Structure 1
Amino acid sequence: MKKLLLTTLGVTSIIIVAACNNNEENGESTIVEVNDTSITETEFIGELKDGFGEQMLNEMVQSTILNDKAEELDIGSEQIDEEFQSLKENYGVEDDEQLLTMLQTQFQLPVESIDEFKQDVLRPELVISEISEADVEITDEDKQEYYDNNKEDLESVSARHILVEDEETAEEVKNQLDDGEDFAELAEEYSTDGSASEGGELGFFTRGQMVEEFEETAFSLETGEISGPVETKHGFHIIEVLDKKESFEEFESDIENTLREEQSIPAEEVMQNLMDEANINVEESTYEDWIQS
């Protein structure tokens, strides 16, 4: 995959032109002529090597090591395709070309096709992941213990609110809600914060993300319950809890991912270990100090 080189070429243009002279050397052919200045291929490649050569050489070495390791671990197209489908599901994308566009624009990955992405990104990541998690063991007891020890931090609430400046208005809004008025419509009419256009919805939040008085009330309400006026430094809130996540089953997958990450070997360490284990012979003395081992 063409990595940082593609995004950094423009930065070197001034340096390249400055290094060029007006005469072709040793009969070399000119690849670009700017006014009276000729840029030869040797000059162009030399500037790239001086600016990015060490980085690119190490990337090429690492890519070779990872490809060899993928063969050794028998990471084939079926496993790569499975990971690819999982990625699409995680990002809510059904179409391959839609995902490719996302990778190119949102993530700035210089991949030109899905096949290139699978081979140059997913395959190496699977190698790193498989080695990183080789010794990871997570039991049901581990997950339950983590949940018991972190229950309060894990619990989250989805709520909406109507924020007004004074208690009298808050009481008026609460009375209208008690009379059956629509919460979202009242939020749009009365609420003074940015959530008004969304019907007052705030999404899910955990403890520590809201001001203390708001948080205390939200976590004490049952799903579907609406509070009376709650005063905070922002004004007076009427809060309705829309949903709660608090059971072990709701957090089990997230807990497993957290424990897996804690037990896994960091990717940088995995790559360094692979570099240390590889048979790397620098045949040209000029490059002896370039390889990061």
Structure 2
Amino acid sequence: MGKESKIRKLRKEGLIAPVNKEHGIAKWVKILILVILIFALTLTGLGTWNYVERDVAAKVGKETIKKTDIQSQLDYYTQLYQQFGMDLNDPQYASTKKNVEDSILDSLVSESLLVQYAKEHNLKIDQDQYNKNMDEQIKSIIDKGIQDNGEQPFNDLVNARFGSMDAYKDYLKEVLQPYVERPLYQQAALDEQYKIIKITDDDVKNYWDSIWEVDAEHLLIEVSANATSKEKSDAKKLAEDIYKSILDEQGKQKESFNFADFTKKKAEDLNKEQATTGKEVAKYEALGYFEKGQMVKPFEDTCFDSKVKVGDILGPVETDFGYHIIHILGEKYTNEKYDEPAKVNVRLVLFKYTAGDQESEDNAKMSANSIAIQTKSGMSFVDAVKRFSEDETTKAKDGETGLFLQADKPELFAAAQNLSVGGIAGPIKTSDGYAVIQLIEKKAAVKASLENKDTYNKAKDDLTNTKQQEIKASFTETLKKQYGVRTTNPWRSLTAFINNRFGKQINSFVTWWNKVTGKTPTSLPIPSDGTETPSTPDQGGNNEPLPPVSGGS
């Protein structure tokens, strides 16, 4: 009998104490501990990753795009939009700001991919253009330094720090090199792809007859970015039902059917039904005319399909925003943008008035009427301009406006159409005041033709540019797959998933726990995405030109 058999026999006879299995760890407990340990290590790893990449907007191949790169460009566009009365930091323009940020990121990603491709394939940049751009950058920096400090103090500062102006220029060349090279490497990569473009006469003719702009209105059944598959399916079914009801109603009402009225009412009813949730379910919008490239791709492809006609109701079309039912209101063909519209050139005497002040307006109208009578009776119009006009811009040019379109000055344009050269009209009420005009020149509208060499060449150039944009977009998508692009942070993706999927349950649990324990937590136990980590001044990755040497630094 073997040793183990003897032990089992003695244990059965009670001569040896049995093994106490209660002291062992159950297998399921071991597995649970292992799972918890792996989960904890994963969270720790992702949390560390999130901290390390807290200033990373995107990883593109071997390059990194920082949030500060995007912010520096966003600051520029914010100032630009402010000139048009739009503050991108105002919540009402949040979607516009998001679109600008996305556009900046897309541009930086595209540049990075093309630069990496060009370097990897040893493409040569245009050296003459490089030298020209470098000289312009250096001159700009030096001019700014002189402007800020004065010429002699700036030269003294440069000599003290670099020994000479030439040494300072050499320093700038070294520092600026990557900034000057990048756009040229990008262009070199694109030029290689553009070689395949061949434009024939038939291509130009087809382009000439293609749709340039579409006017449309639509009803959007909205779907949030984090919607579940069921929510998407329900939204699609709702859009399909509405589309069918639109066609049915159109069939009944025929020519009297009004898409806008019908869909506005639908949207209003749907949103009322969901009023308690605070969510907007449907939205009607009149979009006006738009070109290719202004709308998301599925929407654009539907509207610009060659089979689509004015009056068609299309859909539902799925995009990232939800499901669209589209009504085509109008089309403009490419050849129309080469037409020469009617223009007029007039001399102007303007009398301004204070808006809302009837006496001021009456006086301006009376003055304009007096000048109209006197100039028609023989007074020199130029003399009238110099003596009486309150428009300083045209006054400096003897009252001449220069050629303008109907859209520029509709009231003056309409009055000028009824005049012969030298004829006088007024008083004319405009947004600026009351005017008297004398017609100098009238140009009739001219329909464009490919028979005109200049027009043909312009159309060919525009078609070439269009094809270049298409090639760039396609090539960029290819490079994304080749080099890899990551614009998401795994930690933020995880925390967003937890918040979206389990946020309500976690909040409910916390509320229950507070009731049981009588405690009030300072924050919900939901993982932070790390976006509130205090930022530190960026030490690199900024594509802004170098500042000039200045005193005190």
Normalising by structure 2, report the TM-score. 0.29
Q: Look at both structures and tell me which one has the larger radius of gyration over its CA atoms.
A: 2
Normalising by structure 1, report the TM-score. 0.48
